[in-house]
């Protein structure tokens, strides 16, 4: 960092880059670049592209409705070509979140926030739960956060019991499962 003797940053403040004027070609390139970097749902990609359109219309003017039509056509094209697939995204995300110890509630919420259909979320969550149960996910989470039987100092386990139960409850696990994990043995 460039600092002068007073400790202040001597660089000029960054200016916001001017958005480019949108066109069907520009939107397609932006979408492909985004999809190269991130796994995405139809809804998430649409939000990204609409933000670009809104910035461009604000800066350059133009017909927002026409640009939104370009986005709809582009999304349909990307779906036909298999570049965005909510079904595959939901399955991958549900399994990875479950394997990392996330509760059904958290997985459902994350997928719904990404714009995945509720029925699809239920199906993919059922498949992920068949592989890793709620109790197994709670044990994974407790191990990662060093709760209950996974505490470094086992002598503090009883005095932190309520805190550990609350941590599992905040992570979205039902009380019965949280109690079973926190009061359970290390293995």
Could you tell me which of 166, 146, 169, 171 has the C-alpha nearest to residue 157? 146
Q: From start to end of the chain, where are the E strands?
A: none
Number of residues written out for the chain? 187
> What is the percent of the chain with per-residue pLDDT over 70, rounded to a whole number?
95
Q: Give the model's pLDDT for residue 186.
A: 75
Other CB atoms within 10 Å distance of the CB of residue 157: 16
Q: Is 38 among the domain residues?
A: yes
pLDDT per residue as tens digits for the range 110-136: 999 999 999 999 999 999 999 999 999
pLDDT per residue as tens digits for the range 34-87: 999 999 999 999 999 999 999 999 988 889 999 999 999 999 999 999 999 999
Quickly tell me which residue has 């009883």 as its tokens.
158
39 plus 68 within the same structural domain: yes
29 plus 76 within the same structural domain: yes
Which residues span the domain enclosing 29? 24-80
31 plus 67 within the same structural domain: yes
Other CB atoms within 10 Å distance of the CB of residue 149: 18
92 plus 113 within the same structural domain: yes
């Amino acid at each position: 960092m460039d600092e002068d003797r007073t400790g202040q940053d001597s660089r000029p403040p960054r200016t916001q880059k001017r958005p480019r004027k949108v066109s069907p070609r520009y939107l397609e390139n932006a979408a492909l670049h985004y999809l190269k970097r991130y796994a995405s749902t139809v809804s998430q990609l649409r939000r990204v592209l609409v933000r670009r359109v809104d910035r461009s219309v604000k800066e350059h003017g133009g017909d927002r409705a026409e640009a939104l039509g370009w986005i709809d056509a582009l999304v349909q094209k990307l779906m036909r070509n298999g570049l965005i697939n909510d079904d595959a995204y939901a399955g991958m995300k549900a399994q990875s979140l479950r394997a990392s110890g996330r509760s059904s509630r958290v997985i459902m919420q994350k997928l719904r926030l990404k714009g995945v259909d509720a029925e699809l979320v239920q199906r993919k969550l059922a498949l992920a739960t068949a592989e890793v149960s709620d109790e197994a996910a709670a044990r994974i989470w407790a191990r990662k956060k060093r709760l209950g039987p996974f505490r470094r100092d086992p002598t503090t386990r009883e005095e932190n019991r309520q805190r550990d139960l609350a941590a599992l409850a905040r992570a979205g696990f039902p009380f019965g499962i949280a109690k079973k994990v926190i009061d359970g043995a290390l293995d």
